[in-house]
A and B are shown apart, each in its own frame.
Chain A
Amino acid sequence: MAQDANSGKDLAAANSSSHDLVPEDSGTGVVSPDAVKNPGHPEHRKRVTDLDPKKEKQAERTVFVLFFLSAVGSLWAVAAYMMFPIDGQMELVRSNNLFIGLGATLALMALGIGAVHWGKAIMADHESVDERHPVRGTDETRARAIEIFEEANEESGFGRRALIRNSLIGALVVFPLPAVALFRGLAPYDEDPVELLQHTMWKKGTRLARDPSGVPIKASDVTLGSAFHVIPEDLNTAKDVLNEKAKAIVLLMRLKPEDLNELPERKNWSYNGIVAYSKVCTHVGCPVALYEQQTHHLLCPCHQSQFDVANHATVIFGPAARPLPQLPIEVDDEGYLVAQSDFTEPVGPSFWERH
């Protein structure tokens, strides 16, 4: 960049020193010989602070007052830090935030506005001109660069000694592989994701319990039209509670049996119009938390997929592709709702090896 040494040339000088265009391929660009001529730099207009010493004095005053104000703001913020403690009292958080923030805002804004005002109103106002040079190096520089590469090639034999070169490239390609292998350790060695995704905690006889309390639900608690957020009764004592919960959450709804349009092979999966479906959206896995009692529709609040509970939770709108998996349920001797088995298909979003 040594060629930039002409920095800050005065406008008048620059106007006279127009240098020749380097002829270049303009492609489809139209270079008109009849173009209107550039009228050159307009005359410099003086600012009010250049013309009126009183205004200049005033601008100077504004700037230093702003800088003083900035210092006041900084000290204020420190004082506010001491004067507005939190000490475990929630309601003091607001004043702590407000008064430290106000001080810091004043400090920053006054400093910034002061500096800009100094630059615009007081500092010399002469626009200057730098000449541009083509970004490419000069022909000599480029020739020398080529020469250097050729010399280096000659002296190292990089081009000549093909075996050394190729084996080097080979070694460099292989050398990151250990790092890739090391990253296998990011996940447990003894687990297979495809296997894990097939199963949830539900098994034969697991009681359906309320989320999050874990209180089991009796069939008689489920009134017509109601919906329950359900977890397996033993979830809260499981090893990885959140991992298990992410797969095992269920929605329980009771419809009029005549409203239910059940698949023949799932005739005995419900109890008295009570049906249980996975709460994990088959789109990208959000909890399908909203139940519309009148229409029997389930809505996922993330991407608005809708599932029709009356029709075995088929997708009726939105980006989801598959129905929510159904949990087969029955009632145990004490009248509690229990699972007949685990889900018969993987729950949640689709994955490559799903089928």
Chain B
Amino acid sequence: MSTAPAAVAAPAKSSGGFTGKAANYLDERTSISGAVKEFGRKIFPDHWSFLLGEVALYSFVVILLSGTFLTFFFDAAMTHTTYEGSYAPMNGVHMSAAMASTLDISFDIRGGLLMRQVHHWAALLFVASIGLHMLRVFFTGAFRKPREINWVIGFVLFILAMAEGFTGYSLPDDLLSGNGLRIIDGMIKSFPLVGTWISFLLFGGEFPGEDIVGRLYSLHIMILPAMVILFIALHLVFLIVHKHTQYPGPGRTEQNVVGFPILPVYAAKAGGFFFIVFGVIMATATFFQINPIWNYGPYDPSPVSAGTQPDWYIGFADGMLRLAPPHLEFVWLDRTWSFGILLPVIILGLFIVTVLIYPFIEAWVTGDKREHHLLDRPRNAPTRTAIGAAGVTFYAVMWAAASSDLIATHFRVTMEGVIHTLQALLFLGPVIAYFVTKRICLGLQKKDREIALHGYETGRIVRLPGGEYIEVHEQVSDYERWELVSYKDQAPIMLRPNAQGKITGSMRLRAAMSRWFFEDRIAPVTQTELDKSHGDDHH
């Protein structure tokens, strides 16, 4: 890498002691000093919401550590065996080697149950923190140029995390996870043309067969983790290339990043935070049981427990399946089209794709080619925030549907009533959420504007000489005001003919989208308005 003369390359300090000598040895062979110079004092901005992505990263490290331990003891085979371990109620029960070895990890290996629980809790936290991190990125507009591709990479990680979760959940070959696989098998079989054969190949013959656990194991510990690591690496490379976004504030601009250097402050804080996340997972695994497969028993196609639930992150998909109305199946061209399953799958697919491509949609609507490194406060992008709220509501309704039976039994209402209500909410909920959120955002913007121009209410009522009562308003400081007025504003497009004098369909669509996004807007306070209002206050 370096072609610098030897005299410069050698460290200046000759009396560096052991550390100096070791550093010199390393640098002469790796040119590592360049990396230290480059990244050692790199600045990261501070905000609690930036920790959500860190939680995801650290819980993945915990998953890798605990998962590696588990691989040393787990036997990913469906060979029939008779359980003879310590758990007396299962003694003599026929089960697969996978289930038996999971019971052994839980009851015969010291700390084994703890590691299983660490692994499972960390996995639940991994998906949850990715989800929250995505919400933070969405609602602050952090996905805008130049970070659109990193949004896609992060989204792929979200999908991979769910795939990791589901494959891992299925490995113990217990009754609950076996029913989960049964559902997956049923869904795959419904796919036109290829479904039957995909199921046949995946399960190595008929369901359940004796291959699926071993195959999911290959995916779970090799292919999927390799992909997760690759995509995390890409995600972080782009984080370095783009430098982190920051919230608007005094002194912060699109051209700078204000915060603390990696060495030493960020290394200490982020390094410490890793151990805190690990510690919280460890504490949860110490005190709270998760996935007690010994209560479910080995997989058998016949029994099933009432109130079966998947792990939380699969809930939205399971719930969507429940919301399909009956009889959506027909025979056409002598083939079976099972829309009872295909329709939910298509809706889920559309939802996922919309989330995936949202940055590109918004970029197209605004036509904004600038780089955006200052985040939006959610209120300052009312339409985006409202769309986000609608999406969250849509997801939440599907998720709630995955517990429709439990909602019915706990609240003593009819199951049909719960499903019908959720079916209606699936469509109405997002619409209501959209309008309510948009109005709240605009209201908050108006309030910000009011405070920026006229200060805040002090609660002090003063009687003027003429008898009039007024409440005294106090001006906010320049720094506080800056946070209220410094947002970027978008206006709707004026539809104008292009160079050929034509208005194309896509131009019309874009103009309509732009009106939808930006017609209701509260413009930021200008300097003139500010000067004028301050003048007024001197009366």
Footprint of B on A, CB under 8 Å? 1-2, 4-5, 7-8, 11, 14-15, 18-19, 21, 24-30, 32, 34-42, 81, 84-86, 88-90, 93, 96-98, 100-102, 104-105, 107-109, 111-120, 123-124, 127-132, 134-135, 183-184, 186-188, 191, 193-194, 196-197, 211-212, 229, 231, 240, 242-243, 245-247, 249, 279-281, 283-287, 289-290, 301-305, 315-322, 348-355
Contacts and interface: CB of A to CB of B under 8 A. Distances in A.
Interface stretch (B21-29, B124-132, B164-172, B525-533): B525-533
A105 B279 CA distance: 5
Contacts of A353: 196, 335-336
Contacts of B225: none
Given A29-B366, A36-B526, A350 B189 contact: yes
B74 interface: no
B200 interface: yes
Contact of B193 (A14, A285, A352): A352
A101 B289 CA distance: 12
B241 A1 contact: yes
A112 B486 contact: no
Contact of A186 (B201, B286, B302, B307): B201
B407 to A, nearest CB: 11
B146 A119 contact: no
A105 B305 contact: no
B187 A34 contact: no
A25 B367 contact: yes
Contacts of A86: 86, 107-110
Contacts, number: 409
A243 B209 contact: yes
B530 A289 contact: no
Interface string B258-284: 111100111111011111111110110
B43 A320 contact: no
A5 B405 CA distance: 60
B322 A318 contact: yes
Given A39-B482, A187-B205, A304-B419, A119 B114 contact: no
A40 B404 CA distance: 54
A209 B185 CA distance: 27
Contacts of B38: 1-2, 4-5, 7
Interface in B92-123: 106-111, 113-114, 117
Contact of B285 (A26, A101, A279): A101
Interface of B: 37-38, 40-43, 86-88, 106-111, 113-114, 117, 146, 179, 182-183, 185-187, 189-197, 199-211, 215, 240-243, 250-261, 264-269, 271-280, 282-283, 285-287, 299-308, 318, 321-329, 331, 334-336, 338, 340-341, 344, 365-371, 373, 404-405, 415-416, 419, 478-479, 481-482, 485-486, 488-493, 514, 518, 523-528, 530
Given A2-B38, A32-B489, A183-B201, 16 more contacts: A7-B40, A28-B518, A101-B114, A108-B278, A123-B265, A127-B260, A128-B261, A131-B255, A135-B242, A242-B299, A249-B301, A289-B306, A302-B179, A302-B304, A319-B325, A350-B329
Nearest to B107: A93
B370 A36 contact: no
A134 to B, nearest CB: 7
Contacts of A105: 279, 282-283, 286
B120 to A, nearest CB: 13
A125 to B, nearest CB: 8
A211 B255 CA distance: 72
